[in-house]
Amino acid sequence: MSGVNPDVRRLSEWGADRLHQLAEAYDTPLYVYDIARVRENARRIRAAFPDAEVSYATKANTSKPVLRALQDEGVGAECASAGEVQRSLDAGFTGSEVRYTAVNPPSEDLDHVCALAADHPLTITIGAADTLDRLAERDFFGKLAVRVNPGVGAGHHAKVTTGTDPKFGVPYDEVPSLLAAAADRGFDVVGIHAHAGSGISGDDLSAHRELVSRMGALARESPVSLEFVNVGGGFGVPYKEAEPPLDIAAVAEATREALGEVDAQLAIEPGRYFVADAGVLLTRVNTAKPTPETLVVGVDAGMTTLVRPAMYGSYHEIRNLAPDAGEREAVETLVAGPICETSDIFATDRVLPAPARGDLLCIGNAGAYGYEMASQYNSRPRPAVVCLDEGEAYLAVRRETLADVTSLEEP
């Protein structure tokens, strides 16, 4: 798709003047989300999957403006914890739009979600047979789905490949008997669910196809009639400026083909795809240190602000927003944060218009798994989040202070 709703929004397309204004007004490091782009992503994915029930995996970004915009776009909420369920309901999702995917759920989570389920008809997806007992103990006999371990995985990194990991889901062959047992016990069995992994590219389509076809087969042999077959999320986005975007229409077509005839609705639940290119991270250069190896560029954001490069070796584009960047010499840099840890690096061997102290840098595709994975390691307060919507800017999350960091400590 092109024109008014392009498949990808590149880092180079963000207006530098606006980003400078925001950095001045709200300080750095600063997350900036463009809510209008979140809406565009939702419309594109709903258009590609017109017959599917589309949910948003809230773990990618739970900020309230994002949740509200997606609820407004007719997307449901797939939640990984009681906290995400609560925040989704608070943001305006109705119970029937909420799915809680319980992964080794702590008792507190089940207590909280089962209590909410009394008033909000949400769906709980279990990934282990004994979770049924734990739900029954809490008098939950509501809408239930079973997460399947499909035995097929994909993803941008081994750490985010779920489909082959025994941690996730019920072994494939045991699913039919578990569905029957759940129905016998009085649960309202509504669906089956699987997720291959995160960051699936066009090259991984065969794994996606395989997963969907296994889910189709399972649905056809289900002893219980199902309302939906959820084939997860994981749709990748281009992290490199030159990388082509995922052909979402091709993914949708492959999904429909592989599923085959089933008497249930297709459901999907991407996270990253909705928000990644709707967010950037602004960070200020505080140190420019020439060394024999490279120019070390020290910035005020670190692995505590955006952990993906440190955790997965993920590539994120970086743009020097200095007004005269076009005239600067292109030099090889190592962009590093203020955390006293070797992995606290955003990029190595990255060629940038020679960064100087005071420059504003912008890190791309920071809308997914950015703020969400931020921490206070090294006693570092978490950054602020600002949203843009149709030209308006407003604070969504205030910057933490040192007092916030120590607020839970006993005197």
- Residues annotated as catalytic are 340
**C-beta closer to ligand LLP: residue 275 or 321:** 275
Q: State the nearest-atom distance from the C-beta of 20 to ligand LLP, in Å.
A: 28
Q: State the nearest-atom distance from the C-beta of 369 to ligand LLP, in Å.
A: 3
Q: Which of residues 300-329 bind ligand LLP (CB under 6 A)?
A: 308, 312
**How far is the first Cα of the chain from the last one, in angstroms, to the nearest whole number?**
57
Verify binding: residue 195, ligand LLP, rule CB under 6 A.
yes
Q: Cα–Cα distances in Å, from 54 out to 48, 372, 405?
A: 11, 21, 37
β-pair type (279-290, 30-34) = antiparallel
Sequential DSSP letters for 274-319: HHGGGEEEEEEEEEEEE-SS-EEEEES--TTT--HHHHH-----EE
β-pair type (265-268, 279-290) = unpaired
**C-beta closer to ligand LLP: residue 180 or 373:** 373
Neighbouring-strand partners of residue 287: 298
Verify binding: residue 42, ligand LLP, rule CB under 6 A.
no
Does the N-terminal peptide bond of residue 29 adopt cis geometry, omega within 30 degrees of 0?
Answer: yes
**C-beta closer to ligand LLP: residue 160 or 362:** 160
Q: Is the four-CA dihedral 122, 125, 131, 136 of positive or negative sign?
A: positive
Q: State the nearest-atom distance from the C-beta of 405 to ligand LLP, in Å.
A: 23
Binding mask 58-87 for ligand LLP (x = CB under 6 A): --x-----------------x---------
**One of 65, 199, 302, 367 touching ligand LLP (CB under 6 A):** 199
Verify binding: residue 280, ligand LLP, rule CB under 6 A.
no
**C-beta closer to ligand LLP: residue 95 or 199:** 199
**One of 95, 150, 233, 355 touching ligand LLP (CB under 6 A):** 233
Query: Is residue 187 within 8 Å of residue 132, measured between CB atoms?
Result: yes
Verify binding: residue 272, ligand LLP, rule CB under 6 A.
yes
Q: Residues in contact with ligand LLP, total (CB under 6 A)?
A: 21
Cα gap 411→405, rounded to integer Å: 13
CA angle (46 as vertex; 41, 52 as ends), nearest 5: 145
Verify binding: residue 232, ligand LLP, rule CB under 6 A.
yes
Phi, then psi, of 13 in degrees rounded to 5: -90, -10
Verify binding: residue 142, ligand LLP, rule CB under 6 A.
no
Span from 19-27, 81-89, 130-138, 228-236 in contact with ligand LLP (CB under 6 A): 228-236
Query: Could you give the dihedral angle defined by the CA atoms of residues 83, 89, 92 and 98, in that order, rounded to the nearest 10 degrees?
Result: 100
Span from 231-239, 251-259, 283-291, 325-333 in contact with ligand LLP (CB under 6 A): 231-239
**C-beta closer to ligand LLP: residue 62 or 198:** 198
**One of 270, 337, 338, 353 touching ligand LLP (CB under 6 A):** 270
Binding mask 365-404 for ligand LLP (x = CB under 6 A): ----x-----------------------------------
Q: Is the four-CA dihedral 59, 64, 66, 70 of positive or negative sign?
A: positive
DSSP 357: T
Q: Closest by alpha carbon to 155, among 139, 143, 168? A: 168
Q: How many CB atoms lie within 10 A of CB 323?
A: 11
**C-beta closer to ligand LLP: residue 34 or 78:** 78
Q: Which of residues 159-188 bind ligand LLP (CB under 6 A)?
A: 160, 162
**One of 29, 191, 234, 302 touching ligand LLP (CB under 6 A):** 234
Query: Is residue 22 within 8 Å of residue 30, measured between CB atoms?
Result: yes
**One of 88, 101, 305, 320 touching ligand LLP (CB under 6 A):** 101
Binding residues vs ligand LLP (CB under 6 A): 57, 60, 78, 101, 160, 162, 195, 198-199, 232-235, 269-273, 308, 312, 369
